[in-house]
Amino acid sequence: MNPPPAQPPSIDIQSLSRSCNQTLILSTLASGPHHGYQLALEIEGRSSGAFRFQHGTLYPILHKLESQGLIRGDWLEERSRRRRKSYRLTAAGRQYLKEQTAGWRDFFDRFFDVVEGRSR
Amino acid sequence: MNPPPAQPPSIDIQSLSRSCNQTLILSTLASGPHHGYQLALEIEGRSSGAFRFQHGTLYPILHKLESQGLIRGDWLEERSRRRRKSYRLTAAGRQYLKEQTAGWRDFFDRFFDVVEGRSR
DNA sequence: TACTATATATAGAGACGCGATATATTGAAA
DNA sequence: TTTCAATATATCGCGTCTCTATATATAGTA
């Protein structure tokens, strides 16, 4: 009999921070288009200040998500307003968000199994 | 009336990976002394292979935890055996583990509040 | 006029996990 | 007897990522 195959980690520990940031952003975009600055405010508000995005963190992530085709940004042209870029989820982004969310659920289950000794 | 003070994040997103690894190790040591190699095997087994420690990850973390006084390592001298270093939790480590575990619970709650839109 | 909030962008610094590599012993298989 | 795998610890360098700081620009308010 073969041993059960080892389960690959649902979320790569190496990229926990990146995945966390991406998932927070994508899930906020799931409720409708936002521009960058607005995303940071919304996430901060929704988490009662627990999750805060520095600008140097936020914009590179948005650029990367866009280059990966997970979100799409369009410049809004409004007079008497600083130009803003409105981001929205693509179909691929919506699918990716779904997978990431499931991955985080799985990660937490396994994590607390180990930490709280439920698997002993 | 003042707005409620923004809650600082329970677990720093920047150091999610580090905190995750530390907490997995400390919680395993809470059940008794282990040496490094044994820790990796135990955590891998307890998580059905989800959490795996590469050597280049494990040993630097152990050294750091020891230098911070959260764990203490003692060389075991046994003839006819490769030398092993047995680690155990210090009182400070036990306290730190408690805080980290609570922090992760809190992080988990807030994270899914945002991701699943419970705070909207 | 000056400051704050809005709004986006990037360069540089520091931290950290991982793969590769090194060293050493023991026991089992060929 | 030789070779291989498992046990056991350690470190270097690479790539990646977040943060701080800085730059730029506009609108509204004190």
* A82 closest-nt by C1' vs CA: D26
- Mean pLDDT, residues A8-31 taken together: 91
Quickly give A41 CA vs D24 C1' distance in Å.
21
Q: Is the pLDDT of residue A64 over 50?
A: yes
pLDDT at position A2 is 36
End-to-end CA distance of chain A: 23
* B58 closest-nt by C1' vs CA: C17
For residues B73 and B66, the answer to whether their CB atoms sit within 8 Å is yes
The model's confidence at residue A8, banded by pLDDT at 50, 70 and 90, is low
Q: Is the CB of A35 under 7 A from strand C?
A: yes
A85: amino acid identity, one letter? K
Quote the mean pLDDT of chain A. Answer: 90
Chain B residues 3 to 22 whose Cβ lies within 7 Å of strand D are: 12-14
The phi-psi region of residue B71 (left if phi > 0; otherwise alpha if psi is between -120 and 50; otherwise beta) is beta
Dihedrals phi, psi of B33, to nearest 5 degrees: -65, 140
In this structure, is residue A64 part of a structural domain? yes
pLDDT at position B4 is 41
In this structure, is residue A28 part of a structural domain? yes
In this structure, is residue B1 part of a structural domain? no
**3-class secondary-structure state, position B34:** strand
For residues B39 and B61, the answer to whether their CB atoms sit within 8 Å is no
Q: Is the pLDDT of residue B1 over 70?
A: no
Q: Is the CB of A45 under 7 A from strand C?
A: no
Q: How far is A39 from chain B (nearest CA, A)?
A: 12
In this structure, is residue B60 part of a structural domain? yes
Using a CB-CB cut-off of 8 Å, the residues of chain A touching B6 are 44, 48-49
Using a CB-CB cut-off of 8 Å, the residues of chain A touching B99 are none
The model's confidence at residue B9, banded by pLDDT at 50, 70 and 90, is low
Using a CB-CB cut-off of 8 Å, the residues of chain B touching A13 are 17, 20-21, 51
Domain of A24, CATH number, reads 1.10.10.10
Q: Do A23 and B50 touch (CB under 8 A)?
A: no
For residues B84 and B39, the answer to whether their CB atoms sit within 8 Å is no
A67: number of Cβ within 10 Å: 9
In this structure, is residue A6 part of a structural domain? no
Domain tally, chain A = 1
In this structure, is residue A95 part of a structural domain? yes
For residues B89 and B39, the answer to whether their CB atoms sit within 8 Å is no
Domain span at residue B32 reads 13-110
**3-class secondary-structure state, position A84:** strand
In this structure, is residue A66 part of a structural domain? yes
Q: How far is A83 from chain B (nearest CA, A)?
A: 27
The model's pLDDT over B36-50, given as tens digits with 9 standing for 90+, comes to: 999 999 999 999 899
The model's pLDDT over B92-117, given as tens digits with 9 standing for 90+, comes to: 999 999 999 999 999 999 999 999 98
In this structure, is residue B4 part of a structural domain? no
pLDDT at position A6 is 54
Dihedrals phi, psi of A110, to nearest 5 degrees: -65, -40
Q: Do A24 and B115 touch (CB under 8 A)?
A: yes
pLDDT at position A5 is 47
pLDDT at position B10 is 72
The model's pLDDT over B46-84, given as tens digits with 9 standing for 90+, comes to: 998 999 999 999 999 999 999 999 999 999 977 666 789
